[in-house]
Structure 1
């Protein structure tokens, strides 16, 4: 996701109870689903809100079809306050290591709590025993766009997650908020830019820490007043007086797992054995051992993690992909081979960090080509070419603390750009990956240290399908202990760039996906949902893509300038089904857009009045779909 984006509307596609489909014959069963998309917004009223007027057709076993209209309902705003015993704070306010709200003192004599305008990932957990039938929702608050004075606050302020308790109407499935509590990350040294996330097969939330701070730059700035990595500011906000000695970039860039216990309390742990890079999200495969990641940024990489034990991320083996291009049509295609980086436990890597290991403890560097040093170009160090050599005995530290740099020295492909969301199609053994902006390292670049990817420039991005296979081996011929190894990838949903903006300010075709980000797949509906993070569409959308018919339908529009985030298809929660989808930063960057179809100044004014530009966001859901309770789950292969 964009570093400057923020604000979340959790939109959930609710599928009401079987009572809602009484019009269908009693003995008929739902057999197929087809979304009918909505038009793009045309008026200031439509452009300034989150809404849907899409429908879904359900075909029954007796040949009849019924259409269901969709609608949007709100749960809460990030500025709404929740709490207990008189201690109420806004849902989007981060807390420090002592559990206190982190205050914004940017305006003298007017301290206010920071409130994130960037709600992101959602995990709607399976019902827990002992919680009175309530559902639980884990949500990210990714960052803070601006502080109280209007200056950029991105990355300087610790981020947060919340645990919402949701009551569910037993007849209609409607969700209401019973309470929202902040999740404590003090045992993990705080939470760094949590972007997207996923629900694990064992019903825990797997979060993320995006745009990991560069340890090389941090070390170079030690002893100065510089803080370009934001680690010092982060530590001062989070640890208070302890901040100066607690600042360490190696604590951040991992997967936080949130476990919600039957008593409704949450506990957070970080998994250091998953490697350290710009975690967009971690998506587990059906074996509860194999996982893939989005690695956001420029000159990034594709990683695969295989846990030693199912449902246990405390130790495992990490691999990096080599892309072997096979075509350029429909976005592009390639075969994937895998390079083993190493095996580690969380405890081993945590001990390295606790020992105050530095970048120069791990690598020797050169400012120019030199025998024994490898030239690499990665997201780290502002995508500059680096000449590196791993110091003797530091291979494990390099693999799990400087994962991208180490993988690049071994020859893994480091040219992916804006690698975002992931989703899983269980029945067909396919995974889906969003490349939000296919440019930069993914174009032809003969002057780079490597040029594995030579695909056409598509600024509006491509969604790829990954073929998952058993019986695969790594580069050294060793068997990979997984039946879900990505062996190839090909483009399936491709954006279309436009030469100039249309009257609504769009620079990508408005009837196609632009800059895919969040992905989620419904096994019951055989549908891939795609959420946009696009400056190329003035209003961002959520799309439904039927993987069998290839039909693409717009099903949600979020406010102009906002990003659609937090996408999650939950096919059955107590007999009802939901698709979570949030939005961030409404009104962002509209000033610079060429919009002539409506009064741009009035549009911005309306968004600021109704929601707040860079100030707040709604969490809600779209209701109106039939229950998927009786749709059988596909058999695992």
Structure 2
């Protein structure tokens, strides 16, 4: 996610969330014939143009569905919120607390010390949602609360407060499909030393939630007792453990996996063998072994993991990509060479961490070029560094300093803002979002960077890339990779468009194209890639539907001004109903700094603050009205807006 400049405000928290909640348009009826869906087409909505619209989370989009019996039906979409992160719906020790409140190692809600009345922290940044397949007949949703933007005093709290996830048991109306939270629980991360900045996530093929830990703390800077990194990790440890002496950067930067049992109890493991970097999310391929990752930040890498056993990410081989540019058209293209970083088990890596290892135990460093040292540049340090691996520390380097080690072996660490990952299983394609194609992805004009593999055109609005998957691929050492889902190349698919100057609504990217793609989710049944924005280039961020066959792009949701569209998750079938989950976080952020003339900017900021609360809360919800993708709808629960058998 983009770390946006904070908007300070002394305004009080709004009492109500500005979300439209139209009547549901759910679809479910037992099939009366054998008709099947032939295609699904989204009809988009206009961008918001009034203050009222710019404050809402809403959709006016529709969807056309053509059935094999020749009928075409058009269904209206609507947005339905489940709860806000500030809503007291979670139960901890018999007490109702806000859904977005983090808990410490003992399971107690964490109090905001800047609050004058002992209030708990409440994250304004809900992110990933996974609606699990039914477990013993029940539906559960895992939700991330990524970070705390500001504390009660209005000061930045980003990365200082332990993060959290919640587990929501859903009530699903058997006739309409409407979802309501039956109960919400906080998930216990005490067995894995807490949770660090969980960004996006995914549902594994074996029905577990795969989370993330983004922007891993830099262990080299942590070694300096005067550094901001040291202070950050110690503050985090004080809040979580009640003891800053327990601060350890190597506790964080991995893939947490959450399993929910038939009794609705969640358990957590961290997969240390998947590598330590800025995990945006992990997406598992159909072989249940191969995993692709987003690595968020500037000067980051592309990583792939191949597990030893299907449905088990506790042991495997980690790879990093070397990008070999082949073109600049439509965003850009390049071949990918995969470098084997090594093999490990979770237990092996955890034992290394528990040994008390530090950065200086793994590498020698130099401030200037030196014989035997490798020059690299990667995200967590941000500038060129000269490193030499100490003898016998290959495994520690590969799995605790993954990006550094990858760069030392020749992999590319020049990607910028690599975000969401989605899978198109039928076509064997992976989609990866580059939210902001600039900086390290441009040609190095200084000639000072250690490598310049990527020399693509500057597109601040970003590019969503397609990776075609194949078997029989070899790594850089000539060894066959044990996977049928390896990407030998990538090319631009959906490209944003920067504007030379801001329009009347403060947009600096074309409002009718995706700007800064972040969350991605793909629907096999709808042949549609959904794209959620995290953009300062759009005053209102949107969710888009991109049909991979027709190449049509349609806007289907708008979130409040200044907010990011997060938690994107397309569920094709949950007991015969279909949903598109989407949240919003940090509403109102940066709106004051924008050049807006189409509406009264002061009134817009005031409306966001009064109706929602700037950087105070976030919303969790879903788009309904999508027809059942598994059952033919004959209109029993849906009045069709239109049935037109001609020309569709």
Q: What band does the TM-score fall into relative to the shorter chain? A: over 0.9
Alignment pair present for 1:32 and 2:25: no
Deviation readout 1:388-411 (Å, 9 max, x if unpaired): 010000000000000000000000
Query: Aligned partners of 2:352, 2:605: CA distance in 1, in Å?
Result: 49
Query: Aligned partners of 1:330, 1:28: CA distance in 2, in Å?
Result: 39
Deviation readout 1:54-106 (Å, 9 max, x if unpaired): 00001122333111011111111111112167411110000000000000011
Shift of residue 9 of structure 1?
11
Shift of residue 135 of structure 1?
0.8
Deviation readout 1:362-390 (Å, 9 max, x if unpaired): 00011111111000010021x11000010
Question: Which piece of structure 1 moves more, 4-13 or 614-623?
Answer: 4-13
SS of the aligned residue for 1:196 comes to coil
The one of 193, 198, 201 equivalent to 2:197 is 193
The one of 93, 99, 102 equivalent to 2:101 is 93
The one of 152, 158, 168 equivalent to 1:154 is 158
Residue 406 of structure 1 corresponds to 405
Residue 322 of structure 2 corresponds to 322
Query: Aligned partners of 2:519, 2:227: CA distance in 1, in Å?
Result: 37
Deviation readout 1:131-162 (Å, 9 max, x if unpaired): xx331000000000000000000000000000
The one of 238, 241, 247 equivalent to 1:239 is 241
Query: Aligned partners of 1:259, 1:551: CA distance in 2, in Å?
Result: 37
Deviation readout 1:275-304 (Å, 9 max, x if unpaired): 000000001001110001000000000000
Residue 530 of structure 1 corresponds to 531
Q: In the alignment, is the contact (CA less than 8 A) between 1:5 and 1:145 conserved in 2?
A: no
Alignment pair present for 1:436 and 2:440: no
Residue 422 of structure 1 corresponds to 421
Query: Aligned partners of 1:84, 1:594: CA distance in 2, in Å?
Result: 44
Q: In the alignment, is the contact (CA less than 8 A) between 1:421 and 1:518 conserved in 2?
A: yes
Shift of residue 579 of structure 1?
1.2
The one of 132, 138, 141 equivalent to 2:142 is 138
Q: In the alignment, is the contact (CA less than 8 A) between 1:11 and 1:619 conserved in 2?
A: no
Residue 27 of structure 2 corresponds to 17
Taking a change above 3 Å as real, the CA distance of residues 262 and 307 of structure 1, as seen in their structure-2 partners, is: same
| Correspondence 1:376-391 to 2 at 5 A | 376-381=376-381, 383-391=382-390
Shift of residue 11 of structure 1?
11
Q: In the alignment, is the contact (CA less than 8 A) between 2:287 and 2:310 conserved in 1?
A: yes
Taking a change above 3 Å as real, the CA distance of residues 377 and 547 of structure 1, as seen in their structure-2 partners, is: same
RMSD: 2.0
Query: Aligned partners of 2:277, 2:128: CA distance in 1, in Å?
Result: 18
Deviation readout 1:510-536 (Å, 9 max, x if unpaired): 000000000000000000000000000
Query: Aligned partners of 2:19, 2:300: CA distance in 1, in Å?
Result: 28
Query: Aligned partners of 2:157, 2:426: CA distance in 1, in Å?
Result: 43
Unaligned regions of 5+ residues in structure 2, if any?
7-12, 633-648
Q: In the alignment, is the contact (CA less than 8 A) between 2:278 and 2:295 conserved in 1?
A: yes
Query: Aligned partners of 2:329, 2:92: CA distance in 1, in Å?
Result: 57
Query: Aligned partners of 1:265, 1:462: CA distance in 2, in Å?
Result: 39
Give the TM-score taking structure 2 as reference length.
Answer: 0.93
| Correspondence 1:590-609 to 2 at 5 A | 590-609=591-610
Query: Aligned partners of 1:402, 1:315: CA distance in 2, in Å?
Result: 17
SS of the aligned residue for 2:215 comes to coil
Deviation readout 1:470-492 (Å, 9 max, x if unpaired): 00000110010000001110001
Query: Aligned partners of 1:261, 1:359: CA distance in 2, in Å?
Result: 38
Query: Aligned partners of 1:84, 1:255: CA distance in 2, in Å?
Result: 25
Deviation readout 1:327-380 (Å, 9 max, x if unpaired): 000000011110000000101111111111000000001111111100001002
SS of the aligned residue for 1:604 comes to helix
Give the TM-score taking structure 1 as reference length.
Answer: 0.95
Shift of residue 607 of structure 1?
1.1
Taking a change above 3 Å as real, the CA distance of residues 391 and 119 of structure 1, as seen in their structure-2 partners, is: same
Query: Aligned partners of 2:288, 2:464: CA distance in 1, in Å?
Result: 24
Deviation readout 1:162-200 (Å, 9 max, x if unpaired): 000100000000001101100000000000000000000
Shift of residue 581 of structure 1?
1.0
| Correspondence 1:548-559 to 2 at 5 A | 548-559=549-560
Deviation readout 1:585-622 (Å, 9 max, x if unpaired): 11000110000011111111111111111111221122
Shift of residue 30 of structure 1?
2.0
Q: In the alignment, is the contact (CA less than 8 A) between 1:531 and 1:567 conserved in 2?
A: yes
Question: Which piece of structure 1 moves more, 32-41 or 225-234?
Answer: 225-234
Alignment pair present for 1:452 and 2:453: yes
Q: In the alignment, is the contact (CA less than 8 A) between 2:215 and 2:380 conserved in 1?
A: no
Shift of residue 225 of structure 1?
7.8
Question: Which piece of structure 1 moves more, 603-612 or 395-404?
Answer: 603-612
Query: Aligned partners of 1:29, 1:320: CA distance in 2, in Å?
Result: 42
Query: Aligned partners of 1:11, 1:247: CA distance in 2, in Å?
Result: 43
Q: How many residues align?
A: 619
Query: Aligned partners of 1:12, 1:178: CA distance in 2, in Å?
Result: 19
